[in-house]
Structure 1
Amino acid sequence: MRYPMDVFTGSVQQYDGSRPSAIAKRQVDGELELTDRGLVGDEQAEKKIHGGPDRALCHYPREHYAEWAREFPEQADLFCAPAFGENLSTIGMTEKTVFIGDIYRWGEALIQVTQPRSPCFKLNYHFGISDLSSLMQSSGKMGWLYRVIVAGKVSTEQPLEQVSRLSDVSVYDAAAIAWYTPYDDEQYRRLLSAAGLSVSWTRTMQKRRLNGQIEDNSRRLWGK
């Protein structure tokens, strides 16, 4: 399958009442350079939790925006790509059809799905919806992240083309194991066995197995 897409990059900006963020991205056209850290010209504000080799690109399904607009009609005008700060926007790829470890060709580059996006509290400020990050996580409409396994020249005119599927764990399954269901060691084993899973998710899931409990995510979701 080939998936045409829109591509976006952004720079870090200051926001009243919140921390600096590069969520406000703009559409770009033509040829671009993709490195192991992402698209040249794209920035991240807090590199400990955004960006890096396992989070070089963020992808969000464009069809989710209509669902968000129906849920929040007063903010409907805000719900269009790239409002969630994504780099890649497509129709036809969702968390239930994309799998951890999937490899896609994009121009000269190869990119691999590493984890679901972990929504953070900055989204609450960006949209003026106090619990949007929590709703995004609980709904399964969170998008996903990629690592770059072969860097190179890419173009907004070139589609994504899937070339390998390496696991049976969809992005939605990974989110369900991590966030929606009680601790289940067998499911954690399944997630940890998914080829391509990011280092940070591998570390978190292994810690949960060792401790037998799920860490507190309130700071990420609410900024507290």
Structure 2
Amino acid sequence: MTPSPITLMTGRIAPLSGTETPSGIIKTCVDRPLKLGPNGFESDEQADLRVHGGPEKAVHHYPHEHYAPWRSELGTLPALEAPGGFGENISTEGLTETTVAVGDIFRLGSAVVQVSQGRQPCWKLNRRFDVPDMARRVQDTGRTGWYYRVLQPGTVAPGDKLELTDRVAPDWTLHRLWHALYVDRMNLSELEGIAALDVLADGWRKYAVRRLANRRVEDWSPRLDGKA
């Protein structure tokens, strides 16, 4: 895997389009080095820390090559004009969910990061793109992006490259995890593997544990549609 140099983005909390709901989803490019700590980049903000940010979601990576199919499917939208439309901190070409696995460790600038989980899209994407089912589209396509935890804080600059240094669980690509959780949803063998995958963020492992115990899939509508 030889990804392109990163585009680096951060954002401040602001009202979500058409609402009074605060959100940090709008990210814009930065042109200077930033410190990266356990909870993310300096100057980057998340409004709802119950479900965004934190050590297991310190950095969001969204592949730039996904933008072309989105434009093909949705047409010209402001949020698709430049990286940052999906709330990502890092954009590259050369890494996707089919090639990146949970547990992959990368050096980025002087920091070290590890893939912790895929992204679970939420209803705020519907508002961001002004597409009522955008969150469901992201989930259904598997073009979700992913998150990193920070193993070693450091400084990251625009144009730095992600350098793969170790693969802890190479068989568990993000695409495989997505397929098990959202497509082949009651494959007990896959769920058992996910439940035992220590390097995966606890929140994702718990989905597998609950399905194994309850033999049913959770209701996604509150997350995807914003309905209680």
Equivalent-residue separation in structure 2 for 1:27 and 1:153 (angstroms): 16
Tell me, in whole angstroms, the C-alpha distance in 2 between the residues paired with 1:7 and 1:83.
13
1:68 aligns with 2:70: yes
SS at match of 1:63: helix
Query: Which stretches of structure 1, 4 residues or more, deviate above 3 A after TM superposition?
Result: none
Q: Which residue of 2 aligns with 1:211?
A: 214
Q: What does residue 133 of structure 1 align with?
A: 135
Q: Which residue is 2:6 aligned to?
A: 5
* Paired position in structure 1 for 2:191: 188
What is the alpha-carbon root mean square deviation over aligned residues? 1.3
Amino acid of the structure 2 residue aligned with 1:111:
V
The count of aligned residue pairs is 223
Any unmatched runs of 5+ in structure 1? none
- Equivalent residues of 1:111, 1:149 under 8 A apart: yes
**Counterpart selection for 1:107 from 106, 109, 127:** 109
Q: C-alpha separation between the residues in 2 aligned to 1:115 and 1:161?
A: 19
Hey, what's the Cα distance between the residues in 2 that align with 1:87 and 1:182? 29
Deviation at 1:30, TM superposition (A): 2.5
Shift of 1:204: 2.2
Displacement after TM superposition at 1:132 (Å): 0.7
Match of 2:119? 117
Which residue in the other structure is 1:178 paired with? 181
Q: Secondary structure at the match of 2:14?
A: coil
- What's the CA shift for 1:2? 4.2
For residues 69-120 of structure 1, the C-alpha deviation after alignment (integer angstroms, 9 at most, x for no partner) is 0101153x43131100000000010000000110000122111111110000
Shift of 1:203: 1.9
How far, CA to CA, are the matches of 2:15 and 2:118 in structure 1? 26
- Flag structure 2 segments of 5+ consecutive residues without an equivalent: none
Give the one of 161, 164, 168 matched to 1:162.
164
User: Secondary structure in 2 aligned to 1:133?
Assistant: helix
Matched-pair identity in %:
37
Which residue identity is paired with 1:100? V
Matched, 1:197 2:200: yes
- Check 1:110–1:223 CA distance in 2 against 1; reply closer, same or farther (3 A cut): same
Q: 1:207 to 1:74 in 2, by over 3 A?
A: same
1:146-201 Cα deviation digits (max 9, x unpaired): 10011112222321000111111111111111111131211012223334201211
CA contact (8 A) 1:18 1:122 kept: no
Shift of 1:17: 2.9
